[in-house]
Structure 1
């Protein structure tokens, strides 16, 4: 059973763990950790954390948190933003949401220029997919499932705020083209990646964290920009429900999901479990999923909370995972505390607070 105080305490500890991983030593635990943003790195891990920060501010009505976000983005812009690529786009999702809410014209040019680059200049695969361009490598011809959260959600929100419907259409198209090449029609699960250079899904791995990005991204797309383009929205909704149906029997007795979803003896993975549980709860809250799925999400949330240590670090999170060519590659990824593990756990905890009464009754 979840008590609100337990969830709030876990959220506070998780924020502390995030700061610890970013090398920030002077944190006063008794003060609300969300009132300041001390980390400076502009990358996808921080971008996921910023999104959770924004969602918590919206849930609690905390204007101080939104002021902290505004200050953080102003400081980053003044310092100069990094090279544009898929992962460095992730922090722009929260920025675009805050700009849409406040009408912050000072950020218009940054958001508009980055969105134009994504649509018009960033390398594309065959059939127009966002190539998974990252700072480490270009990944020519490759589609990765995390691209949808890192970049496609931003382009949709930017299009909604700046009244550029073609950008919203582009966001929907990216979901459709990724679903075409990464979604497995037989199982309903999603592969980690696809390459047009050889036309294959690499190891054909149903990687758990990759699937979690999909479980998050589809309901988020609908919530952030609405159900646009009826047939496309209907198709994505079916992909989401089919994936959820496939995920449920893959859940372990512990409440966790294994690193390779169809291989229960592969290592259990907390960041994937947090992301999947978050997506399930979001789907339930927005009416896309049945209430009957709530116990699955609650069981997963209990497992995640049990893996948040007193130091705030989230345990059993697998390290960063590039594309693998065999199953052993995924099995051998070591577990380490990571910023994205902290961020995904935080997103789940914030979503739990939105379901406080229902979660209490279902636990």
Structure 2
């Protein structure tokens, strides 16, 4: 199925390939896109998520069909994606247009692909668009007290829904992975590296002997009350697995931060 959860999961596999160089992962991804490419015809924000891995694959191997699809999605984001006030990306899904709504999810689902598509296709306007979207989402979703991100904002009704500082929503904006990568690139100071290590420890404590991450929330729309968030079922999910792969692969790039148990 071509949707956001599969898209996030695929990107974790791609980053695992980057960390290991194991061609088996590329072969799996290539075969997946060959099987599912026809499903990409229906476009919405959540359906952009698999494109992040496809545009990454194009850096490793040229494919005319894939390049055409990247170009098609890039143009759709620029010309066909529903916009909110101030030109924000409305979080459209397969079942609802969510007119006038900004969701933090959109930054991951659309933003990362659009930047990479701009680089691949030599369209700097795409990159400028994503910078604007991050600034706009920051303006309306960032909580000025805690610095965390609210889940959504409704331009028409002028509210933040339940006002939830939703855990995965903050992960879409910056997970342990972002803290550690930002530290490696010299953008963030050692405080963020320390926070990233604590998050890695928390992740490792929730991985079983089969390598599966527990305690991941199921799919979550924006809710009007906080109890609706706390009532979301908790179970193993591919997108949780994928985001963990990103964080752990980044941790491997920090040998000085890796702690070895003397026992």
When the two structures are superposed, what TM-score results if normalisation uses the length of structure 2? 0.91
Q: Output one character per residue of 1:298-335: Cα deviation in whole Å (capped at 9) or x when no partner.
A: 22212211111234432222222111212222222221
**2:28 maps to what in 1?**
68
Are the aligned partners of 1:192 and 1:206 in contact in 2 as well (CA < 8 Å)? Answer: yes
Gap regions ≥5 residues in structure 1: 1-40, 216-275
What is the deviation of 1:361? 6.6
Map 1:142-291 onto structure 2 (within 5 A). 142-215=101-174, 276-291=175-190
Are the aligned partners of 1:145 and 1:178 in contact in 2 as well (CA < 8 Å)? Answer: yes
What is the deviation of 1:65? 2.3
Map 1:25-64 onto structure 2 (within 5 A). 41-64=1-24
Equivalent residue pairs, number: 262
What is the deviation of 1:362? 11
Q: Output one character per residue of 1:185-217: Cα deviation in whole Å (capped at 9) or x when no partner.
A: 3332211100012111112111111011111xx
Identify the match of residue 223 of structure 2 among 324, 328, 342. 324
Identify the match of residue 348 of structure 1 among 243, 247, 254. 247
Are the aligned partners of 1:294 and 1:362 in contact in 2 as well (CA < 8 Å)? Answer: no
Gap regions ≥5 residues in structure 2: none
Are the aligned partners of 1:99 and 1:105 in contact in 2 as well (CA < 8 Å)? Answer: no
Are the aligned partners of 1:82 and 1:88 in contact in 2 as well (CA < 8 Å)? Answer: no
**1:263 maps to what in 2?**
none
RMSD after superposition: 2.0
What is the deviation of 1:102? 3.3
CA distance in 1: counterparts of 2:155 and 2:192, whole angstroms: 36
CA distance in 2: counterparts of 1:48 and 1:308, whole angstroms: 18
Are the aligned partners of 1:155 and 1:167 in contact in 2 as well (CA < 8 Å)? Answer: yes
**1:31 maps to what in 2?**
none
Large movers: runs of 4+ above 6 Å: none
CA distance in 2: counterparts of 1:68 and 1:320, whole angstroms: 25
**1:94 maps to what in 2?**
53
What is the deviation of 1:142? 0.5
When the two structures are superposed, what TM-score results if normalisation uses the length of structure 1? 0.68
CA distance in 1: counterparts of 2:80 and 2:261, whole angstroms: 48
